[in-house]
Amino acid sequence: MDYLAHTYKEICETVVIGTSTEGRPLKLMKISTGGETKPAIWIDGGLHGREWISPATVTYILLQLVEFREKHANLLEKLDWYILPVANPDGYEYSHVHDRLWRKTRSRALHTKKRRPSPSFGLWNTKSRTKDQCVGTDANRNWDFHWKEVGSSSNPCHENFAGDKPFSEPETAAIADFIMKHSRRIKMFLSLHSYSQMWLIPWGYSENEKPKDYYDMYILAEKGVKALKSVKGTDYLLGTAAELMYISSGASDDWAKGVAGIKYAYTIELPDTGAHGFILPASRIESTGQETWEGIKELAQHFADGL
Ligand code: 0X9
Ligand code: ZN
């Protein structure tokens, strides 16, 4: 990101929108050909530590947008882009160094602080590993919309712990602040996760309720799914998060639509469908990037055309 910002100063600017619990910068790339008035698109990745294909794909998209911009010049002329490849850098790092399947952030909930193991325990000591499960909050259950209602836990030792309060995490709080500041211009919110090959539409908090403009969201996403499939035949399911996956509230897509008022808010669950799951081989990065970019470009075109 620093390389791109340095090399393409006219259009790229990195912005540190906040700091993670462990002090890592939340580094966003703003891509703009000028002015502060254009419609904008938000894309984040890596909200869950172990979903490595997500930051890789977001980075791929960033590269396409910037280095190959003459292929899709109107997408930069007509739109601003806000790209955050690693929304949960502590979890991402932890999944590289200690536990490949780490999902949450690395904060300590109020009552885990009291029973925190002494620092003399080694990381691989069984006792401290048990406690380690009780570290962190599920950053996709921590958003202030139907927070902790369904599909989330109040137990810090669970994978889907919602946090002590909405936006308890510096990561989600910083992203929400940034988005609220630009919410009038942000026409589409995309959060890239893995896995299952699904293009998810709000709501996730209820199976029985659909947004009133659900079909607008469906029809647009359908174009994306078709364009994505045209690259190498990858099939995506399209529907609400609650129908296709499970009911869960406090996720970023529901908040983006329900609170920030961004009409087109989606979660994209990248490949695969389970053969490798979170441990998708690195050889799949490039093809996943290519097809996902085709899908996203299709939607972006719609906003660039002023529709
Ligand atoms: O459970 C999640 O946070 C997402 N799936 S994942 O396997 N990447 O953890 C899905 C979130 C879907 N959106 C809502 N439930 N609103
Ligand atoms: Zn996820």
| DSSP for 73-136, written as a single string | HHHHHS-EEEEES-S-HHHHHHHHHT-TT--S-----HHHHHTPPPTTS-TT-HHHHHHHTTS-
Q: CB–CB of 61/296 below 8 Å?
A: yes
pLDDT(116) > 60 = no
> Which one of the listed residues 269, 291, 294, 298 is annotated catalytic?
269
- Give the distance (Å) from ligand 1 centre to CA of residue 293: 21
pLDDT confidence of residue 115: 54
**CB of 252 closer than 6 angstroms to any ligand 1 atom:** no
Q: Confidence class of residue 15 from pLDDT cuts 50, 70 and 90?
A: very high
Mutate to test the pocket of ligand 1, among 267, 270, 278, 280 (most ligand atoms within 8 A of CB): 267
Active site residue 286: no
pLDDT confidence of residue 118: 53
The share of the chain scoring above pLDDT 70, in percent, equals: 93
254 CA: nearest ligand 1 atom: 16
Q: What is the mean pLDDT of residues 25-33?
A: 98
pLDDT(47) > 70 = yes
pLDDT(286) > 60 = yes
Model confidence, pTM: 0.95
Ligand nearest to the CA of 189: 1
Domain ranges of the chain: 2-105+139-150+163-304
Residue range 2-105+139-150+163-304 in CATH 3.40.50.720: no
SS3 content of the chain, % helix, strand, coil (to 5): 40, 15, 45
Q: What is the mean pLDDT of residues 79-89?
A: 98
